[in-house]
Amino acid sequence: MWKIIVVVLLVIALYFWYRYRTLKKDFEEKVRRSSLVLSGKYMEKSVPFLETFPYDAHDMRWLGDPIDFVIFDGSSKGDVDQIVFCEVKTGKSTLSNVQRRIKELIENKKVKWEEFRVK
Q: Cα separation of 50 and 47, whole Å? A: 5
Residues 106, 114 contacting (CB under 8 angstroms): no
Q: Cα separation of 75 and 66, whole Å? A: 23
Lowest mean pLDDT among 34-38, 58-62, 63-67: 34-38
Instruction: Select the more confidently predicted residue: 38 or 1.
Output: 1
- Collapsing DSSP states into helix, strand and coil, what is residue 84? strand
Q: Give domain status of residue 102, yes or no.
A: yes
Residue 43 clears pLDDT 80, i.e. is over it: no
Q: Give domain status of residue 16, yes or no.
A: yes
Residue 18 clears pLDDT 80, i.e. is over it: yes
Residues 45, 62 contacting (CB under 8 angstroms): yes
Q: What is the arithmetic mean of pLDDT over 11-26?
A: 88
Q: What is the arithmetic mean of pLDDT over 65-75?
A: 94
Q: Cα separation of 114 and 74, whole Å? A: 22
Q: What is the arithmetic mean of pLDDT over 86-99?
A: 90
Residue 29 clears pLDDT 90, i.e. is over it: no
What φ, ψ does residue 51 adopt, rounded to 5°? -60, -30
The whole-number pLDDT of residue 38 equals: 73
The whole-number pLDDT of residue 50 equals: 87
Residues 81, 74 contacting (CB under 8 angstroms): yes
Report field, pTM of the whole predicted structure over 0.75: no
- Assign 56 a pLDDT band (cuts: 50, 70, 90): very high
Q: Give domain status of residue 112, yes or no.
A: no
Owning domain of residue 22: 2-107
Q: Give domain status of residue 39, yes or no.
A: yes
What φ, ψ does residue 12 adopt, rounded to 5°? -65, -45
Q: Give domain status of residue 27, yes or no.
A: yes
Q: Give domain status of residue 34, yes or no.
A: yes
Whole-Å CA distances, 92 to 7, 43, 50: 47, 14, 20
Q: How many structural domains are present in the chain?
A: 1
Q: Give domain status of residue 26, yes or no.
A: yes
- Collapsing DSSP states into helix, strand and coil, what is residue 16? helix
Q: What percent of the chain has pLDDT over 70?
A: 100
Q: Give domain status of residue 119, yes or no.
A: no
